[in-house]
Amino acid sequence: MRNRPTPAPFSLRSQRSKAFHRGVRPAFAESAERDFAQVRTGGADLEAMKTLTEYLKFHAKTHRAYIHITPQVEQIVRKSGVKEGMVLVSAMHITAGVYVNDNETGLIEDIDQWLEHLAPFRKDYKHHQTGEDNGDSHLKALLIHHEVIVPITEGKLDLGTWQRIFYAEFDGQRDKRVIVKVMGE
Amino acid sequence: MRNRPTPAPFSLRSQRSKAFHRGVRPAFAESAERDFAQVRTGGADLEAMKTLTEYLKFHAKTHRAYIHITPQVEQIVRKSGVKEGMVLVSAMHITAGVYVNDNETGLIEDIDQWLEHLAPFRKDYKHHQTGEDNGDSHLKALLIHHEVIVPITEGKLDLGTWQRIFYAEFDGQRDKRVIVKVMGE
Amino acid sequence: MRNRPTPAPFSLRSQRSKAFHRGVRPAFAESAERDFAQVRTGGADLEAMKTLTEYLKFHAKTHRAYIHITPQVEQIVRKSGVKEGMVLVSAMHITAGVYVNDNETGLIEDIDQWLEHLAPFRKDYKHHQTGEDNGDSHLKALLIHHEVIVPITEGKLDLGTWQRIFYAEFDGQRDKRVIVKVMGE
């Protein structure tokens, strides 16, 4: 950042941001200036906090697998009794991930091939000097990310129409776990 | 992991970690051993919990767009009255993302070109057999990630000097939504 | 999504999901249908909320560095007194990240080389027209992601056996900060 001025206080900074946007080509500018609306729901309520923690267990039959877990997460949220809050869904391993996207077979295969393309299996990862052979599994997990936070509104997962939660296994055929922690009121 | 010993209890494991670091080349070791300090602020306070949920609506005029939403998120946090907590900002779609980075026009164009390079439009994604043509939009959304959690301290977004929140649209020209859920005390 | 029907209510949608899965090749289907178990722990307790916020400071001697911070985060969680909750660990910069993976020297070098391969240093990023030279640092930070949320159970970080928290510096030799915000009961 060394070549840029220290920003002015926030109100001015947000004007600066607008100025930046005016300079952006239409692709960005139109969206930023025109296509914006805001809808309010609910209100700020004072409540006591609740938590519930459960663990999902997996043992994939294959080296890589993509497992739809929205129904299991939804069931845990229902059990928690939390009406407003968030649920953390996080792989407890360094060769697995959790992501939110479409539950569509073709896309899942596209994702698998794309991950293999960007984080390919190779014999010569330095990590393999430890005796491991799963360097690519670590990189795939970093790319897809190991955790998501899903909002809970009126006691339900507040997901978009097509959003589904997936466990992504990149080094399967062994026992793995995902922690599901519900926190809210 | 099959070729590696089960780790000792945590205290020993962290010694093991230090040993690992001693083995690391200077790039990692110096940083890990020397360049570390810690600053304490605030204290652990007991309070009742508050939540507020709002939805931001978008309709980008272009197929891809990067929209700066920090001011809108800040406004929702102010309205919530939450002084200490977190705000989840999450796209409710599988072809859009939310990320935190710089509000600088050139960089936004670099990000757009980089995403197209790593997750390019292609006719032959398996997902397209469903009649879709947006396989690349799903992959771009997975790469940038669909959600961020921003800390709230003393009633304000606790962002670094240059950090700004963006909605990234990868399949625009239709109605999209982002959920903003504030949770704290 | 224009070519796909609006989904039926959730119960039906999850049947649709199963149907999708039946169509998936064994790699996915077996995992989804067979390798699934659930373990319950703890219970949903009503408590008052606690938060604690601290900042970790870094000044890497090198341009890129990967610094293990699990012990520091654990210490902050202990100090907070939070028994059930989450801790947000988030870089306050746009050229640094925070991730969870293995504390293994070879893998850390693999990650560094992989990031340089997918988000290489280049002279010609548009961002450099501002006088910056760190366009690649922004892209590396977006790829690794700038924040993680770690669950806290029974007063401890609820990480898997090999999961460790790292600060990833992509534009070092200057002061940087990571916010650690504990929230729970």
pLDDT digit string (tens) for A115-124?
Answer: 999 999 999 9
Chain A residue with the nearest C-alpha to that of B70: A14
Set of chain A residues whose Cβ sits within 8 Å of the Cβ of C21? 68, 105
Distance, in Å, from the CA atom of C96 to the CA atom of B37, rounded to the nearest integer, reads 17
With an 8 Å Cβ cutoff, is A100 touching chain B? yes
Whole-number Å distance between alpha carbons of B9 and B1 = 17
Report percent pLDDT > 70 for chain B: 75
Backbone angles phi, psi at C12, to 5 degrees: -70, -40
Q: Does C27 touch chain B (CB under 8 A)?
A: no
Interface probe for A, chosen from B25, B100, B103, B121 (most Cβ of A below 10 Å), is B103
> What SS3 class is residue C53?
strand
In angstroms, the first-to-last Cα distance of chain A is: 41
Question: 3-class SS at B158?
Answer: coil
- Report the residue of B39, B87, B114 to disrupt the C interface, i.e. the one with the largest count of C CBs within 10 Å: B114
**Local confidence band at C48 (pLDDT 50, 70, 90 cut-offs):** confident
Q: Which residue has the higher pLDDT, B79 or C17?
A: B79
Mean of pLDDT values over B144-161: 98
**Contact between B101 and B164 (Cβ < 8 Å):** yes
Q: Where are the beta strands (DSSP E) in chain A?
A: 36-47, 49-58, 65-68, 85-91, 96-101, 147-153, 156-157, 164-169, 176-184
- The pLDDT of residue A45: 54
Instruction: State the average pLDDT over residues C150-179.
Output: 98
Does the CB of B32 have a partner CB in chain C at under 8 Å? yes
Which whole number is the average pLDDT over C123-129? 97
Q: Give the pLDDT of residue B172.
A: 97
Average pLDDT over residues A122-143: 97
Q: What pLDDT was estimated at residue A37?
A: 57
pLDDT at B104 over 60: yes
Tokens standing for C22?
A: 């039946």
Confidence of residue A97 (pLDDT cuts 50, 70, 90): very high
Helix, strand, coil percent content, chain C, rounded in steps of 5 = 35, 35, 30
Band (pLDDT 50/70/90 cuts) for residue C3 is very low
Res B48: pLDDT:
78
Q: Is A166 on the interface with B (CB under 8 A)?
A: no
- Mean pLDDT confidence for B126-138: 97
Beta-carbon separation of C88 and B85 below 8 A: no
For residues A75-100, average pLDDT = 97
Q: What are phi and psi of B85, to 5 degrees?
A: 170, -150
For C128-151, write each residue's pLDDT tens digit: 999 999 999 999 999 999 999 999
Q: Using CA atoms, how far apart are residues B124 and B169, in angstroms rounded to an integer?
A: 22
Taking contacts as CB-CB distances below 8 angstroms, the residues of chain C near A118 are 118
Asked if A175 and A78 touch (Cβ cutoff 8 Å), the reply is no
User: Contact A94/C86, CB-based, under 8 Å?
Assistant: no
CA distance B169 to chain A (A): 9
Best A127, A140, A157 member to test C by mutation, with max C CBs in 10 Å, is A127
- Separation CA B150–CA B82 (nearest Å): 13
Average pLDDT over residues B110-123: 98
What ipTM goes with this model? 0.81
A100–B146 C-beta distance less than 8 A: yes
Please give the Cα distance from A119 to A102 (Å, whole number).
21
Mean residue pLDDT across chain B: 83
Q: What pLDDT, on the 0 to 100 scale, is given for residue B51?
A: 95
Q: Between the CA of residue A100 and those of A4, C108, C155, what are the distances in Å?
A: 37, 27, 28
What lies within 8 Å, CB to CB, of B80 at 6+ separation is A44, B50, B51, B52, B182, B184
Report whether pLDDT(C15) > 90: no
Question: Residue A49 — very low, low, confident or very high, per pLDDT cuts 50/70/90?
Answer: confident
- Closest chain A residue to the Cα of B55, Cα to Cα: A39
Interfacial C residues in 37-66 facing A (CB < 8 Å): 37-49
Position B3, amino acid: N
CA distance B27 to chain A (A): 16
Q: Scanning the structure block, which residue is given the tokens 């992989």?
A: C114
Cα within 13 Å of Cα(C140), Cβ side: 28
Could you tell me the pLDDT band of residue B178, with boundaries at 50, 70 and 90?
A: very high
Q: Decide if C162 contacts C170 (C-beta within 8 A).
A: no
Question: Given pLDDT bands bounded at 50, 70 and 90, which one contains residue A39?
Answer: low
A-chain CB neighbours of B135 within 8 Å are: 107, 110
Instruction: Determine the pLDDT at residue B95.
Output: 98
Q: What is the pLDDT of residues C53-76, one digit of tens each?
A: 999 999 999 999 999 999 999 999
pLDDT for A28 beyond 60 = no
Residue C5 has pLDDT above 70, yes or no: no
Q: Can you give the C-alpha Rg of chain C in angstroms?
A: 21
3-state DSSP assignment of residue A177: strand
CA-based nearest residue in chain C for residue A120? C114
> Chains near B, with 3+ CB pairs < 8 A?
A, C
Q: Which residues of A are less than 8 Å from C20 in CB distance?
A: 103-105
pLDDT at A13 over 90: no
The CA-to-CA distance between both ends of chain C, in Å, stands at 41
Tens digits of residue pLDDT in C86-111: 999 999 999 999 999 999 999 999 99
Whole-angstrom Cα distance, residue C23 to residue B95? 23
Give, for B72, the enclosing helix (H) or strand (E).
helix B70-80
Give the relative orientation of helices B70-80 and A10-23 as an angle to the nearest 10 degrees.
Answer: 150
Distance from the Cα of C142 to chain B's closest Cα (Å) equals 6
Name the residue among B90, B45, B159, B84 with its Cα closest to residue A87: B90
Tell me what pLDDT residue C36 has.
56
Residues in chain C closer than 8 A to B21 (CB atoms): 68, 103, 105
Taken in order B160, B164, B165, B168, is the CA torsion positive or negative? negative
Nearest to A127 among C38, C107, C184 (CB): C107
Q: How many angstroms separate the CA of residue C40 from the nearest CA in chain B?
A: 24
User: In this complex, which of C30, C110, C161 lies closest to A62 when CB atoms are compared?
Assistant: C30
For C140, the 3-state DSSP assignment is helix
Per the model's pLDDT, the better-predicted residue between A143 and B35 turns out to be: A143
* Contact criterion met (CB < 8 Å) for A60 and C17: no
- Compare CB distances from B151 to C60, C81, C88 and report the shortest one's residue: C88
If you count DSSP H runs as helices and E runs as strands, how many of each does chain A have, helices first? 5, 9
Q: Where are the beta strands (DSSP E) in chain B?
A: 36-47, 49-58, 65-68, 85-91, 96-101, 147-153, 156-157, 164-169, 176-184
Of A33 and B137, which is predicted with more confidence? Answer: B137
Mean pLDDT throughout A66-88? 97
Average pLDDT, chain A: 83
User: Given CA atoms A8, A12, A15, A17 in this order, what sign does their dihedral have?
Assistant: positive
Contact residues, C window 113-152, toward A, CB-based 8 Å cutoff: 114, 118, 130-132, 143-145, 148-151
Task: Give me the percent of chain C exceeding a pLDDT of 90.
Answer: 74
The answer to whether A159 touches B30, Cβ cutoff 8 Å, is no
C121 — pLDDT class (breaks 50, 70, 90) = very high
Q: How many CB atoms are located within 10 Å of the residue B83 CB?
A: 18
Residues of chain A with Cβ-Cβ distance to C2 below 8 Å are none
Q: Give contacts of A112 with chain B, Cβ < 8 Å.
A: none
